[in-house]
Structure 1
Amino acid sequence: MMTEDQSKSQQGSSRRSFIKTSALAAAGFMIVPRHVLGGKGFLAPSDRLQLAGVGAGGKGESDIALIYKGGKTDVAFLCDVDDRRAATSRKNFPRAKYYKDYREMLDKEHKNIDAVSVSTPDHTHAQIAMAAMQLGKHVYVQKPLTHDIYEARKLTEAAQRYKVVTQMGNQGASGDGVRRLREWYDAGKIGKVHTVYCWTDRPVWPQGIAWPSGKAQVPKELDWDLWLGSAPYKDYVDKLVPFNWRGWWDYGTGALGDMGCHLVEPPFRVLNLDTPYEVECSVGSVYVDEFRRGYFPESCPPSSHVTMRFKKTNKTKGDVELHWMDGGIKPERPEELGPNESFGDNGVLFIGTKGKMLCETYGMNPRLLPLSRNAEDKTKVTIARVPGQEDGHYAQFAEASILGYGKMELSSPFEIAGPLTETLLIANLAIRGVDVQRRNANGDVSYPGRDMKMLWDKVAMKVTNFDEVNQYVKREYRQGWSLGA
């Protein structure tokens, strides 16, 4: 029989043992695998983000590197259809397992992937992102979000349905410039905006040309069929990969897709715009010779001027007219600018009832007009800044993915990026509609057909006054490929 002192000693030992065991259990709980803790898409606080990069060269190379740089990220998998393009990323991340087909990677490795970066040609964004989201993976997708309007709508819906963190790669959305423009506007510095001009010197790749004749040898490092993905099959041609695909409708979205997400982002954010209800368009002509205009419907035009009209918002007094200009077309120089003050080859001009303001690509270098107003400006900083600005766009995605869906605000989640992308693609509908007009003009493709006006129904997702162009709202995928939505 134990004495009283022995009993007290054993009780103390038991209590110490219980506390020690409980502490160990608690410590052990912190490193339980994430799938045990919270299901798919959940990361324990002690975990690192396991990233898969689809599209490992060019912009994909920098996207992967900057998400990694953002912290607590391991580049676990790399995927690219072209071994040449992936070479640097494979060298930078030698422990990452390499695939050519994203479908095989997701099928075999989905349990080991937390987030996917998609930096491929426009026509493959949606299928890759959707496949990842359906597996509960967070996604960072390069701009434009998608190739088609239908795809943009479906990705926006899927992000909410699958409860995953999303970010589009328009890094200017995280910059100080857009926030400063918002602060000026909310402070009433230029009154109520009624007109906006966005312009770019793009395209800097060939557009308004005929598809190359003949075919070339496919490089041994490139899987051409995988590169084509959902696009119609065509024989490989030189100089399409890795850059000039942007000027062909089967793969790219032209100057609007390339630069629109950087230049239309500021007015979208400052004025709380949604998709337009009316679009007018004119495009530049290409001449085969001095007598005949060329007709190249597979290629985006060399220049365009698109006018979009948006309904009144809580930030405007009435409807807003936004002009998009590319191919070197620019708006009239503001009279408030001095003769030696730069207007820029890429920029945005806001015209309000009490003044004007201007910025460059990504919302950079924001300034009030005339420029003398900036030296005396005392507008307070009221909107939180993203540390690192454009680079911080990537860190923001990495951090939000670690915290989990709904735990942190992002600069360009699909709920914002989706409608912005839809707007640019609606404008592209009008551009493509010009070619449809020419095709329908008694079969005479020399008919100018260089302008049109289009009415857009957002709910029905269709043009209501020119049905022929609705074929481009949702394109037909090549057999064997689907969006999976």
Structure 2
Amino acid sequence: MKKNNNSRRDFLRKGALAAAGFYIVPRNVLGGPGFIAPSDQLVLAAIGAGGKGRSDIKNASVNGRERVIALCDVDFSGSASASVKEFPKAKLFADYRIMLEEMKEIDAVTISTPDHVHGPAAAFAMQRGKHVYVQKPMTHNIREARLLTEMARKYKVVTQMGNQGASNPLLKNVQAWVDSGKIGKVSKVQIWTNRPVWPQGNPMPKPDASQKPQDLNWDLWLGPAEETPYIPNMHPFNWRGWWDYGTGALGDVGCHLIDIPFRTLGLMYPTDAECSVGSVFSKMWNADYNPEGAPPSSIITLHFNATKKNASKIEMTWMDGGLRPPHPEIIPADHDIGGPGSANGVLMIGEKGIISTNINDSSPMTPKLYLNDGTTEFPQEPAGEKEPEYGHQRRWVDACKAGFSSKEHKGLTSSFDYAGPMTETVLMGNLAIRSYMMRRQNEKGAWEFFARRKLLWDGENMRITNMEEANQFVTRKYRKGWEI
């Protein structure tokens, strides 16, 4: 018996030593150079795998460092097919709800769909404890942005909006100029864009189910929007100009452009909004009215209260459709203030000078400082900045691994705590446009526009206080089964 006990102890001792030895074997010995244990990988899935969704999930995977196990798209015959080739082991889904219910091992999702699906998809994922990376604009309407911001805190998930320019290191130069008071108090901000670069300002195309591509799941593409037969050419890009699906020029590039002053000046909700719009409808409607879509151009004026970073009230003017502000006198006439072709730009106008920032490829580029005394500064992008989209997706992945309360999450440039209020401000411009274009029948049965006025905004309570009819645009009507 004693001999047997000793033999058993010896066996257990040797087994324990062997087990201990196994756990300290270097990973590169176990799996070769670059080996990453499955337990150290984030398990990812994409909701929207084509177009921008392709680069979002690819950049989030960090060239295969993380594990992509599922792709969801309503049409894998188009650009989403490239993601299928990139991740051949990923399981394919058409409905993100089925994917998230079936693939419970998913840790995090990228959401790169048309704007109207951002909110419902992100809410569905967060309610199941999934971290979310959501393309800009964060949501289709103001109420959704507020709800998603609150849900992220409730479910303690790591979030990031896909305005990758927010991670551009050159923004630190702009922030330093503002914080050091180089241009003094900023009183005006002027922003412009060449968008729309898609069909916008015309009546909605008529549905024609006979033209629907065979591989497109149109019902799932519609998501929360009203059920309708297939509308030709809406997928994959021309949806942007229609309110049921898109958010116009503001939604497309506003989260890149408005982000710069919103972030560096420490802005919050605007106090009011007013606008005017361009028209191509006069012959058809005898007025600049099209209830279904955004106008071909617009000018929107927002006002903001003074902040800790800026002691002056601010007037922000947004122009789209090719409209742009006059060239400032203190900036040399041969200096293009809006990037190549003056397509997109931001001017922050202060007491002592101007900060000019152009936008190229949706990221802030070549910020320039012009002071009234003739001083200029033109910082250059740091040498060796090669990480795709400034590491915007990779930093989100790292924060997902570190957790909701981590310094990595708090250090993200567009977590929903920041991106939510900023998106609400962007979408406030659309609320002004849609309110401006409202009309009603008078006592004689003739159509007339509502009295066009400055809208007074109670940001904390998400309400227009001087035009009740306009509050319908704070949210939207949802198709049954797609509500938030």
TM range (shorter): 0.7 to 0.9
Label 1:80 to 1:187 Cα distance change in 2 as closer, same or farther (>3 A): same
Give the letter for the 1:453 counterpart: K
Report how far residue 320 of structure 1 moved: 1.4
Contact 2:242 2:293 survives alignment (8 Å): yes
Report how far residue 83 of structure 1 moved: 2.0
Report how far residue 441 of structure 1 moved: 6.1
SS of the residue 2:454 aligns to:
strand
Write the distance in 2 (CA, Å) between the matches of 1:197 and 1:352: 12
Contact 1:66 1:391 survives alignment (8 Å): no
SS of the residue 2:77 aligns to:
helix
Report how far residue 377 of structure 1 moved: 8.2
Report how far residue 480 of structure 1 moved: 2.1
Report how far residue 412 of structure 1 moved: 0.6
Indicate whether 1:403 and 2:402 are aligned.
yes
Aligned to 1:78: 71
Label 1:62 to 1:150 Cα distance change in 2 as closer, same or farther (>3 A): same
Report how far residue 300 of structure 1 moved: 0.4
Label 1:182 to 1:450 Cα distance change in 2 as closer, same or farther (>3 A): farther
Aligned to 1:268: 262
Give the letter for the 2:274 counterpart: E
Label 1:94 to 1:319 Cα distance change in 2 as closer, same or farther (>3 A): same
Aligned to 1:232: 226
Write the distance in 1 (CA, Å) between the matches of 2:142 and 2:432: 13
1:15-67, Cα deviation, whole Å (9 max, x unpaired): 96597278369769x9xxxxxxxxxxxx9994211110010111111111111
Match of 1:428 among 430, 435, 452: 430
Contact 1:288 1:294 survives alignment (8 Å): yes
Aligned to 2:159: 166
Contact 1:283 1:451 survives alignment (8 Å): no
Write the distance in 1 (CA, Å) between the matches of 2:480 and 2:268: 34
Contact 1:144 1:421 survives alignment (8 Å): yes
SS of the residue 1:365 aligns to:
strand
Aligned to 1:319: 313
Report how far residue 318 of structure 1 moved: 2.2
Indicate whether 1:350 and 2:348 are aligned.
yes
Match of 1:87 among 70, 81, 103: 81
User: Which region of structure 1 is more displaced relative to structure 2, 61-70 or 199-208?
Assistant: 61-70
Aligned to 1:458: 459
Label 1:198 to 1:44 Cα distance change in 2 as closer, same or farther (>3 A): farther
Give the letter for the 1:341 counterpart: H
Report how far residue 373 of structure 1 moved: 3.2
Label 1:335 to 1:448 Cα distance change in 2 as closer, same or farther (>3 A): farther
1:259-282, Cα deviation, whole Å (9 max, x unpaired): 100000110111111111111111
> What's the RMSD between the two structures over aligned residues?
3.1
Contact 1:282 1:452 survives alignment (8 Å): no
Report how far residue 391 of structure 1 moved: 3.6
Aligned to 1:35: none
Give the letter for the 1:20 counterpart: L
Write the distance in 2 (CA, Å) between the matches of 1:425 and 1:149: 6
Label 1:257 to 1:150 Cα distance change in 2 as closer, same or farther (>3 A): same
Structure 1 runs not aligned, ≥5 long = 3-8, 31-42
Report how far residue 467 of structure 1 moved: 0.7
Matches within 5 A, 1:287-302: 287-289=281-283, 292-302=286-296
Indicate whether 1:54 and 2:40 are aligned.
no
Give the letter for the 2:400 counterpart: S
User: Which region of structure 1 is more displaced relative to structure 2, 362-371 or 180-189?
Assistant: 362-371
Aligned to 1:23: 20
Give the letter for the 2:76 counterpart: D
User: Which region of structure 1 is more displaced relative to structure 2, 362-371 or 228-237?
Assistant: 362-371
Give the letter for the 1:127 counterpart: P
1:351-377, Cα deviation, whole Å (9 max, x unpaired): 111111110123211001269634598
Write the distance in 2 (CA, Å) between the matches of 1:377 and 1:148: 36
SS of the residue 1:234 aligns to:
coil
Contact 2:173 2:379 survives alignment (8 Å): no
Aligned to 2:393: 394
Matches within 5 A, 1:206-221: 206-217=199-210, 218-221=212-215
Contact 1:56 1:80 survives alignment (8 Å): yes
Write the distance in 2 (CA, Å) between the matches of 1:291 and 1:463: 28
Contact 2:437 2:449 survives alignment (8 Å): no
Aligned to 1:255: 249
1:47-101, Cα deviation, whole Å (9 max, x unpaired): 2111100101111111111112266312210000112232111111111100001
Aligned to 1:471: 472
Q: Percent identity?
A: 48
Give the letter for the 2:364 counterpart: G
Label 1:441 to 1:258 Cα distance change in 2 as closer, same or farther (>3 A): farther
Contact 1:52 1:75 survives alignment (8 Å): yes
Contact 1:134 1:162 survives alignment (8 Å): yes
Aligned to 1:97: 91
Label 1:94 to 1:450 Cα distance change in 2 as closer, same or farther (>3 A): farther
Report how far residue 201 of structure 1 moved: 0.6
Aligned to 2:33: none
Aligned to 1:336: 330
Indicate whether 1:135 and 2:128 are aligned.
yes
Contact 2:95 2:220 survives alignment (8 Å): yes
Write the distance in 2 (CA, Å) between the matches of 1:358 and 1:121: 31
